[in-house]
Structure 1
Amino acid sequence: MSMTSEALHGGARIRPNSATTLIDHARQACISHRVSFEGTDPLSVRLPGDAVAELLQQLAGRTPRVVQQIVPFAPGARRTEPLAGMIWRQLAAARCEVLRYYLVPTGSDALARAREQAGRDRQEKLVAALVQVGQDWVEGPNVPLADLWLIDDQVVVRRELGGGPASWLVSGHAKELDNARRLLARLKERAGKDPKPETTAGPDLTGDLLESAQMLYSLAGMACKGSKYIDPKDCRWYHGSWQYLRLFNMVSSPSWHSAFYMRALQRRFAAGDRKVLVSGTADYTTLAFVLAAARNALGQVPKDLEVQVLDLCRTPLMASEWYAKKLGLADRVRFLEGDITDPCALKKKGASGFQVIVADAFLTRFGSEQAHQVVTSWHQLLAAGGHVLTTVRLHPRNAYPPPDTEEPAVNDRYRVTDPTDDFELRLRERAAGWRGMLPIDLDDLTNVGRQYAIRMKSNDLGDVGDVEALFRREQFTVEKPERERVDGELVSTQYLRIEAIKAASAGTPSST
């Protein structure tokens, strides 16, 4: 079959005039690209990273009136710029107003370092303001975490995010100026404001996740040997990607139910409970909620607190150990590699008599019969009057796209017809502005995110009545279960939040 003058491409006919137009557009795009990257654009130029020092010296020679800066502080990173520091101090001494906004992830070592740096800045007559970057930043301000300077409201100098050697763009284009002004205005509104208190919001782990995500990404390749409830052959696709996905609020975590967990845990600690089991965990988030609730309820983490973290895979246990050591609380946490469906083996390892069991979004990792075994095991491992705190995804209430709502943000979230494609697109968009703080390439991150979306399975345990029945079969009393719709991972869904209580003694349900 011969090709006609109407060339076929993907089943569509492209007429010669259409092809010519498309080629003209491509040629124009190529010219624009060359102008941008070869320095022939009269209003912008790109510089290699090592040319910025020379640019700074030229800037010092002309003494601008006002320089506004965005300066990210990554956890663990050390900003050593002696020459740049001297030049900025020289400019400030020459009556140039230098205003810096330090972007600092919450809960990280960067916060203390940024405060010290801001103090030194003020001594040198620079104006410094701290903007704390927490979990609300993922879907909120949309300010890229990268260096940017706005000079005399006329020129933008910004570090470009992406792979390869660092490069900087110097531009006087109106679009670049408008974008810089918008970003700086947002930071001015947020400067000095502390994140929400963790009383019911739960711990903000942004800094910790930035610090440990790559560690787990690498560790999973060595420590993950497979988990029969996730992937019996290899669970590194799950545990290796988890903290990055968790950072960008792409996966189920206690943070989706923070008020439920914090209030229930604080009640238990205030009532005197001290022995807690974290039953199944993807990382240290559930442990962090337990420790934060103990601190909030009692003013500090009590010395007699005993937490055991149980999982079949070593990777999340090692992550939890890292977190406990970082807080200086390793003496109050034990890490147990074992199968929750085998309570006899667990009791031999000293896992029994718990007053509280916490298991976030855990039961749907199991089929209905295995889920029953898990609830049976929880009953056996609990002391009389003990409590189970858990959440369960309600599959019959999944929705893609979500039900009609007046909230544009909810409807705008779903933009493609395939949930996996939508998951990958949202991850890329959320991670794009964080590339300045991420040690992983954006393409690698979205690839592992896509693998998670393809391979992750959640079992359907039925609706509210079916889930409650799992607990009542073991003579648990279920206290006022509550439902709430959340964005979900791939699809919008409802979760059931359950506080189940083992009878205080045979035949006598607890009323606490």
Structure 2
Amino acid sequence: MKKMDEEYIRLLNSNKLQELFDCRSGYMDQNDCTWYHENWMLLRYLGVVSNPFWHEKFYENAIQQYVNQLDKVLILGTADFSMPYLCQMKGIKKLKICDICRTPLNICQNVAKANNFSWEVEQKNVFEGIDEKYDAVINDAFITRFEYDKKRIVLEKIWDSLRDEGVYITTMRNDWNYGNAIVPNSAEKESFIEKAVHSAERKNIDSKKAKVAASRYIEKMKSYPIRDEKMLENLIDGLFNIVYIGKGRVEGECTRTTYFRLILQKQSKKSKKV
């Protein structure tokens, strides 16, 4: 983790950081994802936003058991370099990284070049399909970001991107708001901002800058969690078998939050969902 923190510090202090920002449209916001990507790295360094290291042991075990070094691995959707870096730490030395927005891809390229990592990036909208076939697709809380009428479509695209019996390793937030997005209330937003400011003070980061970043981020953040296992099973019906399902309760951004931790294996023949 120390080495990764050094990468965050290097990027955040770089006078060329702004050159990496190239937001046009993202999964978080089709109109303008700058509020998300341009504040993410600072908030990630401060330790206040959802990230794969909340589930580090799960990913480590999943990678060790279901991914080998010869496999073609795709990171589908990433806010910055956290997910690829975790995979690199856990033994995956060659990665393809795909996102709809150029900003996280630019950041990943920068980190890969600085560390001599074998990371390849591609700007691609998952709804348009993934061109190649992979042995494993890995991401963190990716499905949580999509509205309920879009989740099945995204899962079908992931199914299409996998080779037969390929695996999808991911997390999904477990909560429910009667089919509506979960949006932080005023008290939760204030708590999040205070947490960011306190962390900035501890890490000798400009607390005013942290407050602005946290305020912009949390004002627009929303999630579309999975209600229960039955809902999950319905979503993946005819696409994936559940190889592993677990739950983890983590710090969360505004409140302690539960996530499904999942290893899903592609069914060899996709069946139409009735």
Q: Same fold (TM over 0.5)?
A: yes
CA distance in 1 between counterparts of 2:12 and 2:120 reads 22
Q: Which residue, out of 207, 218, 222, partners 1:457?
A: 222
Shift of 1:276: 0.4
TM (norm. structure 2) is 0.88
Q: Which residue, out of 191, 203, 218, partners 2:18?
A: 218
Q: Would you say the 8 A contact 1:482–1:498 is kept in 2?
A: yes
Whose relative contact order is higher, 1 or 2, with alpha carbons under 8 Å and at least 6 apart? 2
Partner residue in 2 for 1:395: 175
CA distance in 1 between counterparts of 2:113 and 2:269 reads 40
Q: Which residue, out of 142, 146, 159, partners 1:366?
A: 146
Partner residue in 2 for 1:445: 210
Structure 1 gaps of 5+ residues are 1-104, 108-204, 296-300, 398-415, 508-512
Paired residue type of 2:100: L
Secondary structure of the corresponding residue to residue 231 of structure 1: coil
Partner residue in 2 for 1:484: 248
Paired residue type of 1:327: N
Q: Which residue, out of 432, 439, 445, partners 2:201?
A: 432
Q: Would you say the 8 A contact 2:176–2:226 is kept in 1?
A: no
Shift of 1:214: 4.7
Partner residue in 1 for 2:31: 233
Q: What per-residue deviation string (whole Å, max 9, x for no partner) do you get for residues 148-200 of structure 1?
A: xxxxxxxxxxxxxxxxxxxxxxxxxxxxxxxxxxxxxxxxxxxxxxxxxxxxx
TM (norm. structure 1) is 0.49
Shift of 1:471: 1.7
Partner residue in 2 for 1:473: 238
Structure 2 gaps of 5+ residues are 178-184
Q: Aligned pair 1:341/2:139, yes or no?
A: no
CA distance in 2 between counterparts of 1:448 and 1:325 reads 27
CA distance in 2 between counterparts of 1:420 and 1:426 reads 10
Paired residue type of 1:311: D
Partner residue in 2 for 1:353: 133
Shift of 1:506: 4.4
Q: Would you say the 8 A contact 1:483–1:495 is kept in 2?
A: yes
Change (3 A) 1:426 1:506: closer
Shift of 1:273: 4.6
CA distance in 2 between counterparts of 1:364 and 1:378 reads 14
Secondary structure of the corresponding residue to residue 135 of structure 2: strand
Change (3 A) 1:224 1:383: same
Secondary structure of the corresponding residue to residue 356 of structure 1: strand
Secondary structure of the corresponding residue to residue 494 of structure 1: strand
Q: What per-residue deviation string (whole Å, max 9, x for no partner) do you get for residues 231-280 of structure 1?
A: 2232111111111111121111110000011111122344x652001010
Secondary structure of the corresponding residue to residue 252 of structure 1: coil
Q: Would you say the 8 A contact 1:273–1:355 is kept in 2?
A: no
Paired residue type of 1:394: N
Secondary structure of the corresponding residue to residue 488 of structure 1: coil
Secondary structure of the corresponding residue to residue 97 of structure 2: strand
Q: What per-residue deviation string (whole Å, max 9, x for no partner) do you get for residues 205-246 of structure 1?
A: 1111111135586246x511132x312232111111111111
The alignment's C-alpha RMSD in Å is: 2.2
Partner residue in 2 for 1:494: 258
What does 1:1-400 align with in structure 2 at a 5 Å threshold? 106-107=2-3, 205-215=4-14, 218-219=18-19, 222-227=21-26, 229-270=27-68, 273-294=70-91, 301=93, 305=94, 307-329=95-117, 332-343=118-129, 346-347=130-131, 352-396=132-176
CA distance in 1 between counterparts of 2:67 and 2:174 reads 29
CA distance in 2 between counterparts of 1:373 and 1:319 reads 28
CA distance in 1 between counterparts of 2:201 and 2:67 reads 40
Paired residue type of 1:210: I
Secondary structure of the corresponding residue to residue 249 of structure 1: coil
Q: Would you say the 8 A contact 2:96–2:120 is kept in 1?
A: yes
Greater Rg by CA: 1
Paired residue type of 2:9: L
